[in-house]
């Protein structure tokens, strides 16, 4: 659910990675200590001060719990940068920082910041309730950070937003929505595709007010060089049009329900939209809760190290809002966020705080990893017809670390020389249930008897073809893809 920002946190906000553990003590971190941490962070991270003067804190806001105790100090530095510091004695009290993009220091109106603050407020309250000693907490955090790889600088340059010039082509210039903004910025980074996917067909759906949304993806063209990093009144009208077109198409690709105050879009549709309309290969919708924390962070960092930003989504049950945004770099345990709010408050943020006694948050966070098909030419996706003649071998849909592609129609014939039987054993199996199928034939063509037809995520039992030949026919539709399948065969 994508909502226009409201003052959800207004009641919680009041004006007001050096060796931080030296300032952390059992009773927490004071505002004075937090300011010292912020100033040293600014010096270490290369913040730019005014006319070469010393760094200075120009605004302070505080997130408090219901009792009035501080939880997070939000500090603006040099009128343009920011550092967020925990008031709790955790191992690394710096929760977020950015050397720029905080000129307005817009905390309340940025939906991504709202969600991030809500999540971290809850995590810090849980830390307080299940308090570990700082030394124990630092130890667990050090273990998690031990396998970190080299930092990756921010890759996206766009500072697009949901309204203003960006919504010129949405119905009645309603909000683009954060899902549409995230997809559009993701596509602009890759500058792909030049032509939208979907053939000549007309893509349409009906909104809640019965208004029909229509996009002809089959004849759409995107001229990426004309899309500037930021659209202003001085931007050429043709360039404004190019940006607003991709913003509209990106939202419509996930069936956005447009509104002036609220734009709703199902975040789970993001992989399908990228695959179906824009020619990308994805890994589907990967929930953080399906991985250990170490696995998830390693997966995220590997993706960024391969120069691929990804889309991150989150749903905050406390605020009742969702958000989607771009992650395009990292430094240590912080990820660089492009919130899709005109560049406002883009910077490095912690995803979570190390779990306290097994208690974790952000379980509803999900990642969408994707790449243009043009960049995956070395991935041997199953296509056309192929054959195997060895007495034993391994076979798969060929997608390796990716999901298989839409509209697959491939046949694999197993015909070992002199064999009287072939036995197939699946080791992994996950396809879109009731839509994508692996059909096994007792022979060399689809006219042979069917030994089994499989779909879903249950690994089939061993299958034997007593004809000495086995045909595997794999098909997928044009909507959803999954991990795919792997198998091995033997013969007698």
315-341 core/surface letters (b: 16 or more CB in 10 A; e: else):
bbeebebbbbbbbbbbbebbbbbbbbb
As a whole number of angstroms, the distance between CA 409 and CA 386 comes to 12
Q: Which residue out of 277, 323, 336, 473 is catalytically annotated?
A: 323
Residue 445 φ/ψ, nearest 5 degrees? -145, 170
Q: Is 323 a catalytic residue?
A: yes
As a whole number of angstroms, the distance between CA 113 and CA 50 comes to 26
Residue 201 in tokens:
């067909």
As a whole number of angstroms, the distance between CA 398 and CA 281 comes to 13
Q: Is 382 a catalytic residue?
A: no
Q: Which residue out of 120, 178, 336, 382 is catalytically annotated?
A: 178
Closest to 330 (Cα-Cα) out of 357, 303, 354:
303
CA distances to 78, 373, 403, 489 from 378, rounded to whole Å, are: 47, 10, 14, 24
Closest to 435 (Cα-Cα) out of 403, 485, 483, 478:
478
Residues 6+ apart with CB under 8 A from 330: 151, 152, 300, 301, 304, 336, 348
Closest to 360 (Cα-Cα) out of 295, 299, 302:
295
Residue 468 φ/ψ, nearest 5 degrees? 90, -5
Q: How many residues does the chain have?
A: 492
In sequence order, what E strands does 52-209 have?
Answer: 57-64, 70-77, 81-86, 94-98, 203-206
Residues 6+ apart with CB under 8 A from 32: none
Residue 283 φ/ψ, nearest 5 degrees? -110, 25
As a whole number of angstroms, the distance between CA 420 and CA 482 comes to 34
As a whole number of angstroms, the distance between CA 382 and CA 396 comes to 8
Which residues are annotated as catalytic? Answer: 178, 323
């Amino acid at each position: 659910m994508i909502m226009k920002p409201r003052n959800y946190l207004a009641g919680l906000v009041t004006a007001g990675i050096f060796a931080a553990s030296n300032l952390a003590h059992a009773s927490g971190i004071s505002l004075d200590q937090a300011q010292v941490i912020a100033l040293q962070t600014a010096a270490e991270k290369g913040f730019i001060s005014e006319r070469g003067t010393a760094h200075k804190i120009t605004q302070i806001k505080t997130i408090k719990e219901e009792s009035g105790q501080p939880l997070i100090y939000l500090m603006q530095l040099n009128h343009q940068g920011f550092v967020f510091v925990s008031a709790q004695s955790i191992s690394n009290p710096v929760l977020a920082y950015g050397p720029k993009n905080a000129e307005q220091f817009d905390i309340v109106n940025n939906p991504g910041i709202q969600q991030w603050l809500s999540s971290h407020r809850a995590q810090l309250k849980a830390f307080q309730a299940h308090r570990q000693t700082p030394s124990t907490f630092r130890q667990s955090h050090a273990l998690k950070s031990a396998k970190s790889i080299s930092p990756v600088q921010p890759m996206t340059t766009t500072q697009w937003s949901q309204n203003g010039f960006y919504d010129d082509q949405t119905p009645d210039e309603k909000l683009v929505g954060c899902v549409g903004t995230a997809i559009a910025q993701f596509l602009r980074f890759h500058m792909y595709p030049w032509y939208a996917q979907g053939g000549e067909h007309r893509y349409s759906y009906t909104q809640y007010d019965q208004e029909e949304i229509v996009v002809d993806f089959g004849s759409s063209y995107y001229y990426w060089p004309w899309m500037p990093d930021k659209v202003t009144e001085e931007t050429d009208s043709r360039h404004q049009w190019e940006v607003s077109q991709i913003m509209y198409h990106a939202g419509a690709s996930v069936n956005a329900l447009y509104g002036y105050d609220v734009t709703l879009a199902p975040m789970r549709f993001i992989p399908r939209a990228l695959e179906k309309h824009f020619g990308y290969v994805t890994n589907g919708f990967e929930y953080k809760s399906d991985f250990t924390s170490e696995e998830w962070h390693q997966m995220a960092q590997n993706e960024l190290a391969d120069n691929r930003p990804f889309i991150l989504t989150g749903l905050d049950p406390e605020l009742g809002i969702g958000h989607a945004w771009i992650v395009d770099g990292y430094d240590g345990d912080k990820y660089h966020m492009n919130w899709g709010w005109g560049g406002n408050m883009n910077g490095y943020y912690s995803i979570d705080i190390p779990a306290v006694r097994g208690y974790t948050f952000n379980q509803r966070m999900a990642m969408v990893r994707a790449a243009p098909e043009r960049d995956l030419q070395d991935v041997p996706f199953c296509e056309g017809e192929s054959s195997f003649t060895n007495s034993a071998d391994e076979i798969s849909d060929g997608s390796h670390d990716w999901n298989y592609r839409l509209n697959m129609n491939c046949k694999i014939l197993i015909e070992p020389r002199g064999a009287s039987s072939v036995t197939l054993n699946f080791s992994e199996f996950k396809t879109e249930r009731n839509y994508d199928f692996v059909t096994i034939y007792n022979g060399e063509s689809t006219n042979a008897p069917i030994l089994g037809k499989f779909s879903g995520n249950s690994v089939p039992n061993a299958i034997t073809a007593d004809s000495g030949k086995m045909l595997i026919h794999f098909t997928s539709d044009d909507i959803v893809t999954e991990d795919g399948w792997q198998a091995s065969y033997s013969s007698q």
